Amino acid sequence: MSESKPRPRSSALGVFDSGLGGLTVVRALRRLLPQEHIVYLGDTARVPYGTRSPETVLRYARGCANLLIQRDIKALVIACNTVSAVAVEMLRAELDLPVIGVVEPGASAAVSQAERLGGAVRIGVLGTAGTVASGAYPRAVGRLSTRFEVVAQAAPLLVPLVEEGWLEGEVPRLAVQRYVQPLIDADVGVIVLGCTHYPLLKPLIESVAAELAGHSVPVVDSAEATAGVVRELLEERELGSGEAGDGQLEVLVSDLPKSFAGVAEGFLGHAIEHVAQVDVVVG
């Protein structure tokens, strides 16, 4: 993580994602750190990132980070797994503030779970094509422990299903089966949800994995794990908001589609009162 100049504790946390899925991370942050102000940016004009080249993802991510930094945030949370997978190191090197991605916390939660299970557990990862191709999860797991092999599976149909609010029934079940089957065939002991959108499918993924494996398979959500890492960082650097009362949430998007309200509420768990449209400048 890059060294940072001092920033006021009362500044907001900046959180961004390719779209609205990163609101699952905001939800976890607000549960754990209710007093923190958060400014969230969803690059809805450019979503999805998961199918794009690493160079393009990095350009988009720089645009998002710069927009949030202009709002004097005290730390940057990359809620997007694809950006965390391909661009976190570059952003840390380039930016003068703490940068937290979702891959390392997700990998760490998976390793803890695998250690609890004991033995030669394999860790399964579901993610976008970009996240899987980057090899970021195997690298992150390998930095924590050499005991666990990682089996990663791209699950491209799951993002559009969640965007449609299609979280149960025959079609999502078939899609989830298609992606979870190779992980069960590889005998994974734990599955990491390596994409912002998948926490909404967690009950279905748990149920399908248990059915295919014949026993329950723990499913780890990187949103919860990331919120825990943000809390530790704020404590360590004495950056936690000292204010009493609930923090505010400001939501910015680069495009405001008609379906915004319903989709955003699905990810966040409650309605969003104010949303502003902004231009993300991409170099």
The nearer residue to ligand DGL, 11 or 196, going by C-beta atoms, is: 196
Which residue's C-beta sits nearest to ligand DGL? 50
Residues marked as catalytic: 80, 195
Q: Are strands 99-100 and 38-42 parallel, antiparallel or unpaired?
A: unpaired
Asked whether position 222 contacts ligand DGL by CB under 6 A, the answer is no
**Options 14, 42, 48, 266; binder of ligand DGL; rule CB under 6 A:** 48
The least distance separating ligand DGL from the CB of residue 222, rounded to whole angstroms, comes to: 9
**Options 11, 24, 44, 81; binder of ligand DGL; rule CB under 6 A:** 81
Site for ligand DGL in 184-213 (CB under 6 A): 195-197
**Options 23, 33, 47, 87; binder of ligand DGL; rule CB under 6 A:** 47
Asked whether position 153 contacts ligand DGL by CB under 6 A, the answer is no
Site for ligand DGL in 85-124 (CB under 6 A): none
The nearer residue to ligand DGL, 81 or 226, going by C-beta atoms, is: 81
Asked whether position 152 contacts ligand DGL by CB under 6 A, the answer is no
Asked whether position 80 contacts ligand DGL by CB under 6 A, the answer is yes
